[in-house]
Amino acid sequence: MNPVFPLSIAQVSDMHLFADENEQLLGMPTTLSFQATIRRLKKLRSELDLLLLTGDLSGDGSLESYEMLQNLLRPLEISTYWLPGNHDNAIAMEQILNLRLVSRRKSFERGGWHFILLDSTVPECVHGHLSAKILHWLDFQLSMGDNKPTLLALHHPPFKVDSKWLDSSTLQNSQDLFAIVDRHPQVKLVLFGHIHQEFHCQRHSVDYLGTPSTCIQFAPSSSKFSLDQKSPGFRLLRLYSNGTWESSVERVPFSYKLDLAATGY
């Protein structure tokens, strides 16, 4: 790929769609907010090469929610890859999200980059953990590659984000992930969702990026559950074949009334 023309991707996360398209999450009509996101992505269609969906695509794990997602994505006509979050049903995802341009592949190459998607979910738990099997597979994928710049993605952040209530549900074995990443310098970026807010930190020259949700936003640096008034959003990335990259977060104008009295999630 010509390094002058980067691979352009959108990371879209935490849509929390429901079987009932009228259902709300803490006052947020998640179907409508995702439709607003789709409209913005459609305007960017000519600039985008692929979509990366980083978990909690559903809010109830229903077949109907994934069928709705598949239908909403279809008009975009953009190659789409996904991974599960703690609210998802991986079996239903495998069944539904594998039609046309929506792929269930977890290791692929595009634009001179290697993409590896990891399942960090633990059944019936909110926190994340990478199993020994997944860690072994990750190490194998990185060892067998040809040192192309590599992007990893998972749902749970491998770092605490300075929010006491959220930090209890991050990836629980981050050091196991770091041990593998440290052995493979081709890893340039790690993307995640779950925290419903923008986040960026760097560790050993690897950048770790969290993206906002397409529905409710969590207030940064909050000790207790707290919602932010910021609009829904997603992340845009431009990946160059020489391993460099650019990124920005785009907010989607969408009006709604938050349930600020909510005390749990």
CA distance 71 to 19: 13
- Mean pLDDT over the full length of the chain: 93
The class (CATH top level) of 7-251 is alpha beta
pLDDT tens by residue, 220-252: 999 899 899 899 999 999 999 999 999 999 999
**What is the per-residue pLDDT for 3?**
54
Whole-structure pTM value: 0.94
Distances (CA, A) of 237 to 68, 234, 246: 26, 10, 6
Amino acid identity at 152: L
Q: What is the pLDDT of residues 69-122, one digit of tens each?
A: 999 999 999 999 999 999 999 999 999 999 889 999 999 999 999 999 999 999
Tokens of 5: 């023309």
Report domain extents, the chain: 7-251
Quote the pLDDT of residue 258: 66
Dist CA 252 CA 213 (whole Å): 10
> For position 256, what pLDDT does the model report?
74
pLDDT of residue 171: 97
